[in-house]
């Protein structure tokens, strides 16, 4: 749950019109989600909409072509490949530095070892002492608003991973960071350890829960903007100068460097665009909402630019126009609670496909019922794109007995 929150508290967030590629890629994401649910007709409608939204962008046409190809419509795929080439988008093999293999995700064989990094931060640093030391007229430090269950979600999720009947992860290979432990340095070190320890036949699982900021708040040039995961000690101004916040681009680069062929990321995220559009400056949002946001292309950017023949899956708790909700009754986010339930399907051996279908079936229904009509729809992005059946199994036992 990255719970990537647009930190509008004390920051005037100027609403920007979404760019053509953002709109188009977001619509293709929805098309892929529909295809994954075996709704091919709906997927085609979304693909047609994406082409209308952004017919001049090669990257959008490339994504459309990939999904048509996965759907078995080679004629439509070739048509959009030509459009992508015409508008200057490079083929996947050029972008990824490897030839594309037939059949999508390759057969990866048994899992040797399993590693996990689980991160959740609910409590953010109090800067009262620093403010007392400031001189008159100096800008004061501003604390990020606390969350309710982000750290608890991380602890509960890690417990499921460590359960010998569910996740079957070994304690020495699961790193858990919550609240005060969630700092820029600690995250960097944890990812570096995964890069060093996880080998080609291993599985790496990432789970993030906490506040974050949108790329629109990044002062860099538009093409270089990144969303940020906000750390325990991030101060409001750091959302802009990134002194302590963790760039999403850094996460993408870390994932692309993993030798492990299997990488799965769960991001419990949501969008608080309605708060920013209404001029609201309170990031908490409605009670029970995490008031969070994620860039439209966050999942896309994570799974792109990785070698072919490797399985990268990113599952987020909601689409880019929705909030992620949590329940005071179950004291978890609806997404994480349902995710833990999904891990127990099929005697603790569900595939990623089964997990996603369970999330997509249960989360929208319970949120709409308990949050007075609110909408929350989990999303999935895969690499290679357009994979309908993903047989990766988190609960598979390790073959390395050492």
Do residues 66 and 191 both lie within one domain?
no
Average pLDDT over residues 343-348: 93
Number of domains in the chain: 2
pLDDT tens-place string over residues 193-240: 999 999 999 999 999 987 766 555 555 544 445 567 778 888 766 555
Do residues 241 and 287 both lie within one domain?
yes
Do residues 32 and 89 both lie within one domain?
yes
Average pLDDT over residues 153-164: 96
What pLDDT is recorded for position 356? Answer: 93
The residues facing 149 across adjacent strands are none
Distance CA 337, CA 125 (A): 27
Distance CA 9, CA 248 (A): 21
What pLDDT is recorded for position 187? Answer: 92
More confident residue, 310 or 98: 310
Please check the confidence at residue 378 and state whether its pLDDT lies above 80.
yes
Find all residues with CB under 8 Å of 287, minimum gap 6, and list them: none
Do residues 222 and 302 both lie within one domain?
yes
Do residues 238 and 147 both lie within one domain?
yes
Phi, psi of 350 (to 5 degrees): -70, 150
Average pLDDT over residues 329-357: 93
Do residues 89 and 145 both lie within one domain?
no
What pLDDT is recorded for position 269? Answer: 59
Residue 103 forms part of a structural domain: no
pLDDT tens-place string over residues 262-319: 999 998 855 322 222 222 222 444 555 554 344 445 555 555 444 434 578 888 888 7
Average pLDDT over residues 174-183: 95
The pair of structure tokens assigned to 142 is: 């501003």
Q: Is 380 left (phi over 0), alpha (psi -120 to 50) or beta?
A: beta
What pLDDT is recorded for position 302? Answer: 54
Do residues 163 and 199 both lie within one domain?
yes
More confident residue, 135 or 317: 317
Burial of 107 (0-12, 13-18, 19+ CB in 10 A): exposed
CA 162 distance to own-chain centroid:
22
pLDDT tens-place string over residues 17-36: 345 676 787 788 788 778 87
> DSSP characters for 283-310?
TT-STTB------TTHHHHHHSS--TT-
How many CB atoms neighbour CB 334 within 10 A?
A: 28
Please check the confidence at residue 108 and state whether its pLDDT lies above 70.
no
Find all residues with CB under 8 Å of 283, minimum gap 6, and list them: 5, 6, 7, 8, 9, 145, 211, 272, 275, 291
Q: How confident is the model at residue 97 (pLDDT cuts 50, 70, 90)?
A: very low
Residue 402 forms part of a structural domain: no
pLDDT tens-place string over residues 50-94: 888 877 777 788 888 888 887 888 888 888 888 877 765 544 333
What pLDDT is recorded for position 125? Answer: 81
- Cα atoms in the Cβ-side hemisphere of radius 13 Å centred on 17: 2
What pLDDT is recorded for position 81? Answer: 82
Do residues 247 and 316 both lie within one domain?
yes
The enclosing domain of 74 has a CATH number of 1.25.40
- Cα atoms in the Cβ-side hemisphere of radius 13 Å centred on 106: 13
The pair of structure tokens assigned to 334 is: 């609806």
Average pLDDT over residues 398-402: 81
The pair of structure tokens assigned to 318 is: 């909601």
Q: What is the mean pLDDT of the chain?
A: 74
Which residues span the domain enclosing 27? Answer: 20-96
The pair of structure tokens assigned to 338 is: 């349902």
What pLDDT is recorded for position 133? Answer: 64
């Amino acid at each position: 749950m990255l719970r990537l929150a647009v930190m509008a508290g004390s920051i005037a967030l100027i609403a920007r019109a979404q760019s053509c590629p953002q709109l188009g890629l977001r619509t293709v994401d929805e098309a892929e989600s529909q295809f994954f649910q075996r709704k091919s007709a709906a997927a085609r409608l979304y693909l047609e909409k994406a082409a209308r939204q952004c017919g001049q962008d090669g990257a959008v046409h490339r994504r459309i072509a990939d999904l048509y190809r996965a759907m078995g419509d080679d004629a439509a795929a070739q048509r959009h490949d030509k459009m992508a080439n015409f508008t200057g988008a490079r083929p996947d093999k050029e972008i990824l530095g490897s030839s594309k293999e037939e059949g999508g995700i390759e057969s990866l064989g048994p899992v040797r070892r399993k590693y996990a990094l689980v991160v959740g931060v609910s409590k953010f640093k109090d800067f009262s002492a620093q403010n007392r030391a400031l001189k008159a007229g100096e800008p004061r430090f501003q604390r990020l608003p606390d969350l309710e269950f982000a750290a608890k979600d991380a602890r509960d999720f890690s417990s499921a991973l460590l359960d010998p009947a569910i996740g079957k992860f070994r304690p020495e290979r699961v790193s858990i960071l919550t609240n005060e432990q969630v700092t820029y340095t600690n995250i960097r070190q944890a990812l570096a350890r995964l890069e060093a320890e996880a080998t080609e036949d291993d599985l790496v699982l990432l789970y993030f829960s906490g506040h974050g900021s949108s790329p629109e708040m990044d002062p860099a040039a538009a093409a270089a903007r990144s969303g940020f995961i906000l750390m325990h000690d991030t101060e409001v101004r750091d959302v802009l100068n990134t002194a302590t916040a963790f760039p999403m681009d850094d996460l993408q680069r870390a994932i692309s460097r993993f030798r492990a062929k299997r990488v799965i990321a769960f991001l419990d995220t949501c969008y608080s665009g309605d708060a920013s559009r209404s001029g609201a400056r309170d990031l908490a949002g409605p009670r029970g909402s995490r008031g969070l946001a994620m860039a439209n292309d966050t999942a896309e950017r994570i799974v792109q630019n990785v070698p072919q023949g490797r399985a990268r899956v990113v599952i987020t708790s909601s689409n880019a126009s929705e909030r992620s909700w949590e329940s005071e009754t179950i004291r978890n986010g609806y997404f994480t609670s349902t995710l833990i339930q999904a891990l127990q399907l099929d005697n603790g051996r569900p595939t990623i496909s089964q997990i996603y279908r369970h999330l997509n079936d249960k989360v929208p229904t319970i949120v709409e019922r308990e949050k007075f009509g609110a909408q929350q729809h989990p999303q999935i992005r895969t690499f290679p794109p357009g994979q309908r059946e993903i047989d990766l199994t988190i609960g598979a036992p390790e073959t390395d007995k050492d």
